[in-house]
Structure 1
Amino acid sequence: MLFSDSRYVSSGTKRAFSVKGIVGMLLSDSRKVLFVHIQKTGGETVAEILTKHAPDICRLGAKHEFAKFGKLKLGSGWNDYFKFAFVRNPWDRLVSWYSMIRRATRITRLDALLSSRKRSHLQQRASNPLWRYFYENCSSFEEFIKNCTDQVEVADGALYSFAYNQLDYLEDGNGSILVDFIGRFENFSEDLRTLAMKAGIQSGRITHANVSVHRHYSTYYTSELEKIVRERFARDIEYFGYDFERL
Structure 2
Amino acid sequence: MIVSHQHRFIFVAVPKTGTHTVREALRPHLGPDDMEQARLFIEKKFPIPELARIGHGHLSFQQVRPFLGEDAFSAYFKFAYVRNPFDRFVSYCAFATSKDGAFQRDPRGVMRHFLFVAPPHQHMVFQPQHKFLVGPDGKLQADFVGHVEDMQTAYDEICARLVIPSATLGRVNASCHGYYRDYYDEQLIEGVKKIYGRDLELFGYEF
SS of the equivalent of 1:85 reads: strand
User: Retained in 2: the 8 A contact 1:165–1:233?
Assistant: yes
Query: For the residues of structure 1 that align with 2:122 and 2:187, how far apart are their CA atoms?
Result: 24
Corresponding residue of 1:201:
164
Look up the equivalent residue of 1:220 and give its one-letter code.
Answer: Y
User: Retained in 2: the 8 A contact 1:151–1:161?
Assistant: no
1:84 CA drift (Å): 0.3
1:140 CA drift (Å): 4.2
Query: For the residues of structure 2 that align with 1:73 and 1:104, how far apart are their CA atoms?
Result: 37
1:231 CA drift (Å): 1.5
1:101 CA drift (Å): 3.3
Percent of pairs identical after alignment? 29
User: Retained in 2: the 8 A contact 1:90–1:229?
Assistant: yes
5+ residue gaps, structure 2, are 37-45
User: Retained in 1: the 8 A contact 2:16–2:125?
Assistant: no
1:196 CA drift (Å): 0.9
Q: Are positions 1:71 and 2:65 aligned together?
A: yes
1:92 CA drift (Å): 0.3
User: Retained in 1: the 8 A contact 2:3–2:9?
Assistant: yes
Counterparts of 1:36-115 in structure 2, within 5 Å, are: 36-56=12-32, 57-59=34-36, 60=46, 61=51, 62=54, 63-76=57-70, 77-105=72-100
Counterparts of 1:13-28 in structure 2, within 5 Å, are: 25-28=1-4
SS of the equivalent of 1:78 reads: helix
1:93 CA drift (Å): 0.6
SS of the equivalent of 1:211 reads: coil
Query: For the residues of structure 2 that align with 1:167 and 1:95, how far apart are their CA atoms?
Result: 18
Counterparts of 1:167-206 in structure 2, within 5 Å, are: 167-206=130-169
5+ residue gaps, structure 1, are 1-24, 107-134, 155-159
Corresponding residue of 1:235:
198
Aligned residues: 183
1:166 CA drift (Å): 0.9
User: Retained in 2: the 8 A contact 1:36–1:67?
Assistant: yes
1:45 CA drift (Å): 0.8
User: Retained in 1: the 8 A contact 2:77–2:143?
Assistant: yes
CA RMSD of aligned residues (A): 2.1
User: Retained in 2: the 8 A contact 1:145–1:229?
Assistant: no
Q: TM-score normalized by structure 2?
A: 0.80
Query: For the residues of structure 1 that align with 2:95 and 2:155, how far apart are their CA atoms?
Result: 23
Corresponding residue of 2:111:
145
User: Retained in 2: the 8 A contact 1:53–1:201?
Assistant: yes
Query: For the residues of structure 2 that align with 1:191 and 1:105, how far apart are their CA atoms?
Result: 35
Deviates more, 1:223-232 or 1:93-102: 93-102
Q: Are positions 1:32 and 2:8 aligned together?
A: yes
Look up the equivalent residue of 1:40 and give its one-letter code.
Answer: K
Look up the equivalent residue of 1:86 and give its one-letter code.
Answer: Y
**1:42-89 deviation per Cα after TM superposition (whole angstroms, max 9, x unaligned):** 111111111112143422434211211111221222123111000000
1:40 CA drift (Å): 0.9
